[in-house]
Structure 1
Amino acid sequence: MVNNYYLAIDMGASGGRHILGRVEQGRLVLEEIHRFSNGPQKKDGSLIWDDDLIFREMKAGLRKCSQAGKIPVSVGIDTWGVDYALVDRQGEVIKPVYAYRDARTEPFFKTAIPYEELYKTAGTAFQPFNTIYQVLSDKAAGRLDKAEHLLMLPEYFSQWLAGDLTGKKYNEYTQASNTGLLDAKKKAWAEGIFSGLGLPLGLFKPIKEPPYDIGGLSKAIQDEAGFNARVVMVASHDTASAVATVSSDALYISSGTWSLLGVSGDPVLNDAARLAGYTNEGTHGGKIRFLKNIMGLWIIQSVRHELQDKYSFAELETMARETEKTAKPNWTVDVNLPQFLAPPSMIDALKAEYQRTGQKVPESPGELAYCIYTSLAQCYKVAIDDLEHITGKKYPSVSIIGGGSKDGYLNALTAEYTGKPVNAGPTEATAIGNILLQMKQANDPAVKDGYVELVKNSFDIKTVKGK
């Protein structure tokens, strides 16, 4: 039997990658075939995505598959949540495609449906960048008047590969659940929210759980790529794909630009969950990711960039360990504060918060790194304490997945602060989950008994214990 290649296009807010996967001798083997930079662009005072650049890079990655003679049977795309493209009746995109860090939602953030009421239905966290507030901004700007379709970004990119931006029949469940417009229990659009806000329900399609096939590559894409493949809607929210790699009863942190900390199960829509900042988002198998968004490695990424990328992450980690030897305990701030979302200077924002809270202000790169890492670990501890209180369940360990699972210092701090052993890996959890969903769609025998065993047999999971 010839083992199939599957191609995951894993799009992050700072970069994208094309990763091929296939099963060899019972193990899932990955190969990165293409990598490119991505990030919000400033244009006319707004933060937007350069979707034309993204499409060029997507095609470049497909060509590299062809050049390598490694032709995938299918392609799946995952991205972050909440962002979307509007498409008119002629199939043209209504530009720009806004980025979630843009400030356009601020006038609508606290003036829409009272959040207490919204949470009882949608169960999403109170975040200014949520889709619901972006759509309200587009309504006020008149952009919805011209729109016929609203495509969440992975739907937009996938329909573009298939050559038909107006042919979407469904909204993929994991992305839809992240909008603030879905009834978390019914897994259907919350008509009361739409009518209450005067939003057109016709922009959206019925909900469908992944995986499912939306067609082959368009003729134009085939000509450029040199092959055809099926386009599969996977669990297209990147965290939903990532958690396919852990057991259904695991407490996990999907660690990257954001840290998504949670468990899988049924919706939790009570006041305790709302007040603790927990959200209910869909995952594979129709379950809910009950989780909290924590600012994550965005802060250390921003500081490193502000230091002209002079230091590698490994060097910053080493300097943080040195700082730890002389640092006072509890030298932390709340990394979830809104001033850390998109400040002009992350270093200035950190220093200002330490000054405001009456603490010693970190000055050196090592002090800044140490404060960021310990603040993250402290945030994890608080979030886990809240989660265990809300669910009434104790979790014996923490699974850290995604790129941040390579950060040995943060893993050790997490084990120390939470008092739980940390199981770190796989690092490529999102791409792996994306591929696993494609394998399910293809009825690949390697996943007939589920995903977790294949992951355990294929990737190194390191256990880290606290001091």
Structure 2
Amino acid sequence: MTSVAAIDLGATSGRVIVGELEDGALRLRPVARFPNTPVRLADGLHWDVLSLYTAAMRGLGEVARADEGLIGAAIDSWAVDYGLLNGNRLLGNPFHYRDARNEQGVARVHAAVSPEELFRRNGLQHLPFNTVFQLAAAAAAGELDEAERMLLIPDLLGFWATGARVAERTNASTTGLLEVGGPDWDFALLPRLGLRRDLLPDLVDPGTALGPVLPEIAAEFGIPGRVRFTTVGSHDTASAVVGVPMTRDDAAYISCGTWSLVGAELTAPITSEAARAAGFTNEGGVDGRTRFLKNVMGLWLLSESVRAWEQVGEQQELGALLRQAAEAPADVPTFDVNDPRLLAPGDMPTRIEALLVERGSRVPASIPEFVRGVLQSLANAYADAVRDIERLTGRPIRRVHLVGGGAQNALLCQLTADTVGVPVVAGPVEATAIGNLLVQARTHGLMTGDLESLRAVIARSFPPRTYAVRTSARG
């Protein structure tokens, strides 16, 4: 049977998942999973991108040797981070977006372009790790002096696999260097920021052919020439939104993993001052759609907390912890999940407790109560974002689709329904890989149609679970 493979790289792990279409339904087959562990060096926090690439290509080779029907592969990953190339040589491991150097980049950019003008030009929510700020910090440190080309992470891995140096458009839209709603890089902005035009590669759309694997890479990993790489929505959220089985205009989505992206799919960006003040972003979507969304801290808060507890010898099994949290009192202390002090790795429970004390709240009496407080705080942030979507778009929101790893968290889904005040439709969990696979399938002619046609396949293949509202917090 003909198949395609998604190489899906998240902030904590990567995986290779095979997809096959049979009788109008998509079937998934996970093949490989590998950790994505940052490395702290003397100059800062980096991604171990060479290990990621090797693990991904080994996984793809494993698929190709076992599956004679495999014809394609595509890569998606988190946004904003990049590698610098001089010829074929990588100039150091890419910096991690959580590295502390970004603040100097923010000051450098805003000295040249005000936040208000920058939003009018790129339509992006201000986040200190956006690529534009990272590149400004890199320029100040002299890191761009030898660089001939910048490639975002999925494009970098695609280049190593195929030799194609391009920038896929949905991911490029997260850099802050793309004209909002426009066809190209903002070339008028670059000289004001001291950035060279030739640093940026040509833009391509999702569904663009990159070619077969280079001969030396094919030999190294055992990947035959029939396997051809193409682009998809290479920003993982762009693929995840393809994987949301939305059928109505009155729906919002939450793509919930390490980060939570709360948004609506539009046909055009919204760049009003009200949208900027509310912290919304306009990112490119597959088939020219606009992902109008807000970045909200996600399950990173919980995973970092569990890691901190385990470091002091308090082993926690997440499933049991969530069951205990569901039994904890509902009236838990909450906090602002988007406080920038929660961005960096470290002792998350201590920082959260400090935020609670700062606002005059009590500290949770137990770990299950702490966990419930984290999830309720996330639900509160989701509700605020949904209400802003209604206000900024003029659309009433009558259901929320929650996809990604958070769709497995029944307590989070129920708290979100109760707090937002509309039903939450949970699933699919593998929305990002599904979106990646379906865009590939369409590119290779295995199916046809628009996004709605792709989403109809998702609805048939992965029946969701609906959480009804028990209490309403709207009003």
For the aligned pair, the TM-score class normalised by the smaller chain equals: over 0.9
Question: Which residue is 2:318 aligned to?
Answer: 313
CA distance in 2, matches of 1:106, 1:213: 37
Question: Which residue is 2:256 aligned to?
Answer: 255
Distance change >3 Å, CA 140–CA 71, structure 1 → 2: farther
Q: Could you say what secondary structure the match of 1:316 adopts?
A: helix
CA distance in 2, matches of 1:418, 1:305: 29
Q: Could you say what secondary structure the match of 2:328 adopts?
A: helix
Question: Which residue is 2:473 aligned to?
Answer: none
Question: Which residue is 2:469 aligned to?
Answer: 466
CA contact 2:108–2:136 (8 Å) conserved in 1: no
CA contact 1:65–1:71 (8 Å) conserved in 2: no
CA contact 2:65–2:222 (8 Å) conserved in 1: no
User: 1:159: Cα distance to partner?
Assistant: 1.1
CA distance in 2, matches of 1:117, 1:62: 43
CA contact 1:131–1:178 (8 Å) conserved in 2: yes
Question: Which residue is 1:328 aligned to?
Answer: 331
What per-residue deviation string (whole Å, max 9, x for no partner) do you get for residues 358-388 of structure 1? 0001242112101100000000111111111
Question: Which residue is 2:374 aligned to?
Answer: 372
CA contact 1:253–1:398 (8 Å) conserved in 2: yes
Is 1:161 matched up with 2:161?
yes
Q: After the TM superposition, which residues 28-43 of structure 1 pair with which residues of structure 2 at under 5 Å, given as runs?
A: 28-43=26-41
What per-residue deviation string (whole Å, max 9, x for no partner) do you get for residues 405-433 of structure 1? 11111000000001100110111000000
What per-residue deviation string (whole Å, max 9, x for no partner) do you get for residues 24-75 of structure 1? 2221000000000002211114110111211220122023213433552011
Amino acid at match of 2:75: I
CA contact 2:64–2:70 (8 Å) conserved in 1: no
CA distance in 2, matches of 1:133, 1:409: 36
Amino acid at match of 1:10: D
Question: Which residue is 2:131 aligned to?
Answer: 131
Is 1:437 matched up with 2:439?
yes
CA contact 2:425–2:466 (8 Å) conserved in 1: yes
Amino acid at match of 2:232: V
Q: After the TM superposition, which residues 348-359 of structure 1 pair with which residues of structure 2 at under 5 Å, given as runs?
A: 348-359=350-361
Amino acid at match of 1:97: P
User: 1:171: Cα distance to partner?
Assistant: 1.9
CA contact 2:304–2:346 (8 Å) conserved in 1: no
Q: Could you say what secondary structure the match of 1:98 adopts?
A: coil
CA distance in 1, matches of 2:43, 2:192: 30
User: 1:11: Cα distance to partner?
Assistant: 0.2
Question: Which residue is 2:104 aligned to?
Answer: 107
CA contact 1:26–1:446 (8 Å) conserved in 2: no
Question: Which residue is 2:342 aligned to?
Answer: 340
CA distance in 2, matches of 1:191, 1:12: 30
Q: How many residues align?
A: 457
Question: Which residue is 2:74 aligned to?
Answer: 76
What per-residue deviation string (whole Å, max 9, x for no partner) do you get for residues 121-177 of structure 1? 101111111000110111111111111111010000111111x2xx42x42110110
CA contact 1:439–1:447 (8 Å) conserved in 2: no
Amino acid at match of 1:183: E
CA distance in 1, matches of 2:391, 2:462: 32
CA distance in 2, matches of 1:306, 1:450: 44
Q: Could you say what secondary structure the match of 2:101 adopts?
A: helix
CA distance in 2, matches of 1:376, 1:306: 19
Question: Which residue is 2:460 aligned to?
Answer: 457
CA distance in 1, matches of 2:82, 2:379: 32
Q: Could you say what secondary structure the match of 1:185 adopts?
A: coil
Is 1:144 matched up with 2:147?
no
Gaps of 5+ in 1: none
User: 1:191: Cα distance to partner?
Assistant: 2.0
Amino acid at match of 1:323: A
Of 94, 100, 105, which residue of structure 2 is paired with 1:97? 94
Using structure 2 for the length normalisation, give the TM-score: 0.93
CA distance in 2, matches of 1:279, 1:226: 38
Gaps of 5+ in 2: 471-475
CA contact 2:82–2:156 (8 Å) conserved in 1: yes
Q: After the TM superposition, which residues 164-313 of structure 1 pair with which residues of structure 2 at under 5 Å, given as runs?
A: 164=163, 167-168=164-165, 170-223=166-219, 224-228=221-225, 229-246=227-244, 247=246, 249=249, 250-265=251-266, 266-308=268-310, 310-313=315-318
User: 1:96: Cα distance to partner?
Assistant: 2.4
CA contact 2:282–2:290 (8 Å) conserved in 1: yes
CA distance in 2, matches of 1:413, 1:328: 12
CA distance in 2, matches of 1:437, 1:60: 23
User: 1:220: Cα distance to partner?
Assistant: 1.9
Distance change >3 Å, CA 320–CA 86, structure 1 → 2: same
Q: Could you say what secondary structure the match of 1:144 adopts?
A: coil
Amino acid at match of 2:224: F
Q: Could you say what secondary structure the match of 1:370 adopts?
A: helix
Using structure 1 for the length normalisation, give the TM-score: 0.95
Question: Which residue is 2:119 aligned to?
Answer: 119
CA distance in 1, matches of 2:442, 2:140: 42
CA contact 2:105–2:135 (8 Å) conserved in 1: no
Q: Could you say what secondary structure the match of 2:294 adopts?
A: strand
What per-residue deviation string (whole Å, max 9, x for no partner) do you get for residues 328-360 of structure 1? 36x211100101101521011000000000000
Question: After the TM superposition, which of the residue ranges 219-228 and 100-109 deviates more from structure 2?
Answer: 219-228
CA distance in 1, matches of 2:9, 2:363: 35
Q: Could you say what secondary structure the match of 1:320 adopts?
A: helix
What per-residue deviation string (whole Å, max 9, x for no partner) do you get for residues 209-246 of structure 1? 21111110111222222423101111100000011123
What per-residue deviation string (whole Å, max 9, x for no partner) do you get for residues 87-108 of structure 1? 01x3101002111111111112
CA contact 1:84–1:97 (8 Å) conserved in 2: yes
